Structure 1
Amino acid sequence: MDAFAYDKLLRITRATEAAAVAMGRAQNQGAVVALSQYNELADMYNSLVAEYNTLYHAREQQKAKLDEWITYGKITTARRDELKEIAQNSLRRETKIAEERDTWKERAVKASKDRDEMTAKYKKLWDDGKAWADMWKSRAEAAEKKLAEIVGASAQVDAGKQP
C-alpha cells in the first residue's frame, strides 16, 4: 500500500475518533445520534482496523523478507570475498608453478647441453682410446714381426754354426 492510502486511513481514523468524541458529548448533553449513522461509523472504523491489521502484517512480512535478503547479502558477500581470496591464492600458485616450470626448463636445457658436451667428450675419448689401442696393437704386431725376424735370423745363425 502506498503513502496516499495510508494517509487516507489516518484521516478516517481521526474522523472516527472525532465522531466518537462528538457522540460521547452528545450523549452527555442528551442529543441523540441516529443509529444508522452510528452503525455506518462503526463499520467504517472496523474496516479501518481490519485494513490496518492487514497493513501491519504485510509490513512485518516485508521486514522478515528484508532481513532474509540482508542475511543472504551478507552470506553472498562473505562467499564472494572467500572466492576472491581463493582466486588470488590460485593465481599466486599458478605464477609460482610457472616460475618453477621455467626454472626446470632452463635446467633441462642446460643439462641437455651438458649431456651433449659430455657425449662429445666421451666420443672423443673413445676415439682417442681406440686410436691408442690401434696404435699399440700395430706396434705390438710390428714388434712381434721384428721379434719373429730376429728369432728367424738367430735360428739361421745358430743353424750355420752347427754343421
Structure 2
Amino acid sequence: MTASLVTAAYELRCHLVTASAGWSLREGGHAVASDVELDCESDASGAWAVGDGVRSMVLGVFGYESAGVVRYEGANALGMYSAAPYLFARASSGESVHVALHVLDSGADIRLAGAVDAADVVEVEVSDTQVTARWAEGSTVTVNLGDLFESRSTDVSTDATA
C-alpha cells in the first residue's frame, strides 16, 4: 500500500509493506543521465545523483536501513552515464511502514544544501499505520495506510442460520 504526499518540490512516499521475514525492500529515486560522469553520493540516511543540472535525491525518513546509488554506463538514451539513488530495508515479518522523501530538482534548494536532512523539509510522525507529515511550509497531512482501502475477505463457509 502506498500513499504519496506532495507539496512544492517534494514528494513523501509512505508505504505499508506486508512481507514474510527474509524479504527486502528497495526504493528507487528518479534516474538522472549525462554525457559526463555524474556526481553521486550516499550516507546512512539518503542518496543523491546529479547530472546536467538535475538532482535526484531520496532520503530515508522512517524504516530504512541504508542508502546507495546504482550507476550505469551506456544504458540510458539521455546520456552515456546514468544513476539512480535508492534506499534499502529488510522487511520485518508481517506489516512494516517505510517513509521516504523524494526530490527531483536543479539542486538549488538551500534547505537541502550541504548537510542533507529531511527534517529541514518535513517532520514525520509514524504511529502504527498512520503517518503524519508536517511540512516546513506550514501544512500538515495525515494518512492512515491501513485504512486506504476497504478490507476485503473471502468467506467460503456457509452458515445456514445467517
- TM-score, normalisation: structure 2: 0.18
Task: Identify the structure with bigger relative contact order (alpha carbons < 8 Å, sequence gap 6+).
Answer: 2
Relative to total residues, which structure has the larger strand share, 1 or 2?
2
Relative to total residues, which structure has the larger helix share, 1 or 2?
1
